[in-house]
Chains A and B, each alone.
Chain A
Amino acid sequence: MTRNSQSIRRLVIVSMLAACGLILFVYESFLPGLPWFRPGLGNIATILALLTFGFGDALKVTLLRVVLGALILGRLFTPLFVFAFSGGLASAVAMFLVMKFTRNLFGPIGISVLGAIAHNIVQLLIAYLFFVKSVEIFIFIPIFIATGVIMGNITGLVVAIVLDRGHNLFIGRVVYENSENKT
């Protein structure tokens, strides 16, 4: 493949990931239930972009999802948008740092769990700083960590399976095969 077709391929895959993440995000917002029990399925696209193409593209996928999702749902610049935006950004940055500084310690599931926890904690912080201004809300930290672990497991597992089955589409950094051989 020439260099040009490589970059077109990358552009197409990143766009498709952004579209998939957007659809998951919009559908997820129709689920009934409390706001902090959302699975965060849109994060699947972010992690796939992060593992396949790196931080820049993961950031593009996240920001496109959050902004376009808010436009579709009619909640641009509302509190829900602020939460989704800050949470998505925090999760992308946290996952990038985890990936960068812990070489091959965590697979997609560990990265996803840490991203989900970062997402939840930052949302709690935003709620404290801009909306409720009362320290009482930090009593929710354990619950937020628990839901982050559970939902991060689900999204991480989807990412791991997609990377495993679709390896000719996503040339990802699949670490669990190495660690399986070692143990």
Chain B
Amino acid sequence: MIRKYYTRGDIILVITFLLASIISIAAIRYVSGGGKHVIVEVDGRHVLELSLDTDVTTTVTGPLGDTKIRVEGGAVRILDSSCPHKYCAGMGFIRHRGEVIICVPNHVIVSIRGGNEGESFDGVTQ
């Protein structure tokens, strides 16, 4: 039986962490409705801002080369990137506020911000 390999501490630990992470994932989803803007950052510098309403394909340049970004139907994805593994392109579309696609090798971050001029915090956290 698998049960005998768990101590009481193990079970409490696993359940606590699993619940905490599921609740916070759900909370992040709930707080972040549909986004309005796409912010593209390279090396921590804000290089580009796109609206999610207009479909467009654009390119930014990071240390390894070009990263191609596609906005389509209120969502955004990385089409192609000059990084070795293309995990960022494999992540597919994001559409909710607060969601991000990160290409670590090419130092590119694509994130979605909410309605008012890219404000992503409410009055309390600000």
Q: Which residues of A contact B109 (CB under 8 A)?
A: 132, 134, 136-137
| Residue from the set A108, A131, A153 with the largest chain B CB neighbour count within 10 Å | A131
In the complex, the chain A residue whose C-beta lies closest to that of B112 is A136
**Structural contact, A109 and B21, CB atoms closer than 8 A:** no
Asked whether B7 is an interface residue with its Cβ less than 8 Å from the other chain, the reply is yes
- Which one, B10, B87, B107, contacts A34 given CB within 8 A? B87
In the complex, the chain A residue whose C-beta lies closest to that of B83 is A79
Using a CB–CB distance below 8 Å, which chain A residues touch chain B? 34-35, 79, 102, 104-110, 113-114, 117, 127, 131-134, 136-137, 139, 141-143, 145-146, 148-149, 153, 156-157, 160-161, 164, 175-177, 179-180, 183
A-B contacts, CB under 8 A, total: 104
Q: Which residues of A contact B85 (CB under 8 A)?
A: 35
For the complex, what is the distance from the CA of A141 to the CA of B43, rounded to whole Å? 21
**Structural contact, B100 and A109, CB atoms closer than 8 A:** no
Q: A127-B104, A131-B104, A137-B100 are in contact. Are A145 and B20 (CB under 8 A)?
A: yes
Q: How far is the CB of A146 from chain B (nearest CB, A)?
A: 4
A-B contact pairs, 26 of them (CB 8 A): A34-B87, A34-B90, A104-B7, A106-B9, A107-B6, A107-B7, A109-B6, A109-B7, A109-B10, A110-B13, A114-B13, A127-B102, A132-B107, A134-B41, A134-B111, A136-B109, A136-B111, A139-B28, A142-B24, A149-B21, A156-B10, A157-B5, A161-B5, A175-B7, A176-B5, A177-B4
**Structural contact, B22 and A107, CB atoms closer than 8 A:** no
- Which one, B7, B44, B105, contacts A106 given CB within 8 A? B7
Asked whether B124 is an interface residue with its Cβ less than 8 Å from the other chain, the reply is no
